[in-house]
Amino acid sequence: MVINTNVTAQGSADLLATSSANLAKSLQRLSSGKKIITPDDDSAGLAVSMKFDAQSKRIGAAVTNISNAVSFTKTQDGYMGQISKALTRMSELAVSAQDQTKVTADKALYNDEFQKLAAYVQDIGSKDFNGVSLFAATGNAVTTDDNTGKFTMAAVNLANTDYTAVTSGSAKITDSTSAATTLQLVKTAITQLAADRSAEGSNLTRLNYSKDQLTVQKTNIDAANSVISDVDVATESTNFAKQNILVQSGTAMLAQANTQAQSVLKLLG
């Protein structure tokens, strides 16, 4: 029996230090919900998890971009719905102005309403969405994935001659002849508007498909990342209980090991 070196106590202290470190790490995992606390826990897993996390964030940003593009398109369609009503009324006025029972003063009233509606349609052409023109000559390119993929939406250009022929102020319904000519212009504008709204509907369909695809992709990436980085609470709770017991028993054994040297006093006595 020796006095200077208590090998038993040193061994117990080493084991207690290990158990205490494991207990602290288990506590960190349970409190953070993360399996990987420090890089040495799973260096390769950490690298993969970081890439998954970055990709998930990029996909989330792309989903936001598409959602904003959908809002842009729906706002655009709201205005186009009003244009449709205005052009329909303008065509009705053009037909009414050809009524031979109407005097010049009556037709002037029709023309007055016609011009006000034309000015209304023309004004819509200057509307924007957060500073971006709703009715530009070129369509907006929307990011549709987490890299460089883009979808360019079909443009709706109210500066198209099919519209300006009606809205520029030159179209009139002051008499039967001008009313008949203007009616054809309005019908052409209605045909163009129908084509533009159809293209707009196709834009929405394409955007929604892309959004749904990205949502599924993000869900699966997050699920894969969860397997790597998220702690299994049930398993870790069991490990926490184990390490807690080891710390308590290690503390007791270290105290016991430290008392063994006292037996030397009996030999000396």
pLDDT digits (tens, 9 = 90+) for 185-241: 999 999 999 999 999 999 999 999 999 999 999 999 999 999 888 787 888 788 778
Give the pLDDT of residue 37: 79
Mean pLDDT of 62-78: 96
3-state secondary structure 40-52: HHCHHHHHHHHHH
For the chain, the average pLDDT equals: 89
Report which residue type is found at 239.
Answer: N
Name the pLDDT band for 139 (thresholds 50, 70, 90): very high
Task: List, in order, residues 6 or more apart from 243 with CB less than 8 Å away.
Answer: 19, 22, 23, 26
Report which residue type is found at 252.
Answer: A
Mean pLDDT of 237-248: 81
CB 166 within 8 A of CB 185: yes
pTM (2 decimals)?
0.78
Give the pLDDT of residue 268: 64
SS3 assignment, position 220: helix
Instruction: Give the C-alpha separation, 193 to 82, whole Å.
Output: 11
Task: List, in order, residues 6 or more apart from 189 with CB less than 8 Å away.
Answer: 87, 162, 163, 165, 166
pLDDT tens readout for residues 17-58 = 887 877 778 777 787 788 887 887 788 988 999 999 999 999
Q: Does residue 181 surpass a pLDDT of 90?
A: yes
Q: Does residue 264 surpass a pLDDT of 70?
A: no
The CA–CA distances, whole Å, from 129 to 78, 86, 229 equal 12, 22, 41
